[in-house]
């Protein structure tokens, strides 16, 4: 997280400089439209940092109602966690020197998010504090497949051997779709780089619920609660 720490440090330094200035400035015309991109996911990818929670590469549109209130809409895709495939090995049976393993391969080919929300902008200086909330929808498609093989322990010529025993060569594949609805409160800071550009950093708390159909049995309702890192989003906005 070196890059994100540098960004926050720079913002704090600039804020300290702005506090030292006591010159009054001429009020500027309020720009009501802001559109921006979350640049944190590519920064994390370039630095080699992995995250356990999805981090969406999203675009955000903000409509400024007045100096302290704004409406927003956002949409994004979880790019860097969409191909997290890899075999996981679990022992499922043992006997007569033979251990049977199940290998499971899972991936998420689609993880899309959209939301609308409200922001309250606070502060009289350039560096402003923002609190807000989004109503979100998250579509997730996951695919998992599994297969079995055995390892038989044997000893010959006074040497221990582990022989792989094929059990089947096919894979059982299951694809699931999730429709998640949620509420996401957030806190952010924003700083204007110029009259047309600004940067913001946010931390978000995600609460989502969704249902899983269980064949002939009643559907199961599940909940997700997660904090997407201390810094969940760093966005660069263009104002017009």
Residue 12 pLDDT > 50: no
Comparing 32-36, 75-79, 149-153, 181-185, which segment has the lowest mean pLDDT?
149-153
Residue 198: closest CA among 46, 60, 50, 21: 60
Q: So what's the pLDDT on residue 155? A: 55
pLDDT of residue 84: 43
Report pTM: 0.72
The rounded mean pLDDT for the chain is 79
Query: What pLDDT does 184 receive?
Result: 96
CA distance 232 to 41: 9
Q: Distance between CA atoms of 110 and 173, rounded to whole angstroms?
A: 16
Q: What is the pLDDT of residues 142-185, one digit of tens each?
A: 888 777 777 776 655 556 556 666 666 556 788 888 999 999 99
pLDDT tens for each residue of 197-215: 999 999 999 999 999 876 6
Q: 10 or 213, which is more confident?
A: 213
Q: What is the pLDDT of residues 117-150, one digit of tens each?
A: 999 999 999 999 999 999 999 999 888 877 777 7
Q: Read off the pLDDT of each residue in 97-118 and give the average, rounded to a whole number.
A: 83
Rounded Cα distance, 120 and 54, in Å: 26
pLDDT of residue 200: 97
In whole angstroms, give the CA distance from residue 181 to residue 186. Answer: 16
Helix%, strand%, coil% for the chain, nearest 5 = 10, 65, 25
Pairwise CA distance, residues 115 & 183, whole Å: 9
**The CATH number fitting domain 2-17+30-85+115-140+178-239, selected from 1.20.1740, 1.20.1060, 1.10.3470, 2.40.160:** 2.40.160
pLDDT at 2: 44
Query: Within a 10 A sphere around the Cβ of 197, how many other Cβ atoms?
Result: 13
Q: Packing angle between helix 40-47 and helix 2-20, nearest 10 degrees?
A: 130
DSSP 29: P
Q: Which residues of 104-120 are buried (b: 16+ CB within 10 A; e: fewer)?
A: eeeebeebbbebebebe
> If we measure between CA atoms, which residue out of 74, 86, 2, 104 comes closest to residue 44?
2
Distance of alpha carbon 238 from alpha carbon 71, whole angstroms: 16
Q: Would you state the pLDDT for residue 5?
A: 45
Residue predicted with more confidence, 105 or 193 = 193
Helix (H) or strand (E) holding 16: helix 2-20
Domain boundaries of the chain, sorted by first residue: 2-17+30-85+115-140+178-239
Alpha carbon separation from 24 to 13, 90, 124, 129 (Å, rounded): 20, 67, 12, 21
More confident residue, 224 or 4: 224
pLDDT of residue 102: 73
């Amino acid at each position: 997280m070196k890059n994100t720490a540098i960004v926050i440090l720079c913002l704090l330094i600039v804020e300290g400089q702005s506090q030292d200035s006591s010159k009054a400035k001429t009020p500027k015309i309020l720009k009501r439209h802001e559109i921006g991109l979350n640049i944190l996911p590519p920064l994390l990818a370039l630095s080699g940092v992995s995250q356990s929670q999805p981090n969406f590469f999203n675009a955000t549109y903000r409509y400024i109602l007045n100096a302290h209130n704004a409406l927003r809409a956002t949409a994004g895709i979880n790019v860097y966690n969409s191909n997290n495939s890899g075999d996981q090995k679990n022992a499922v049976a043992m006997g007569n020197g033979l251990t049977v393993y199940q290998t499971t391969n899972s991936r998420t080919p689609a993880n899309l998010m959209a939301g609308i929300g409200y922001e309250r902008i606070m502060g009289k200086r350039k560096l402003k504090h923002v609190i807000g909330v989004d109503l979100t929808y998250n579509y997730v498609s996951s695919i998992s497949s599994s297969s079995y093989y055995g390892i038989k322990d044997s000893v010959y010529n006074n040497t221990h051997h582990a022989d792989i025993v094929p059990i089947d060569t096919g894979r059982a594949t299951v694809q699931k779709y999730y429709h998640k609805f949620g509420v996401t409160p957030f806190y952010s800071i924003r700083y204007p780089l110029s009259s047309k550009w600004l940067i913001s950093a946010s931390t978000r708390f995600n609460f989502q619920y969704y249902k899983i159909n269980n064949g002939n049995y009643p559907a199961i309702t599940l909940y997700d609660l997660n904090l997407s890192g201390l810094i969940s989003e760093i966005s660069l906005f263009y104002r017009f």
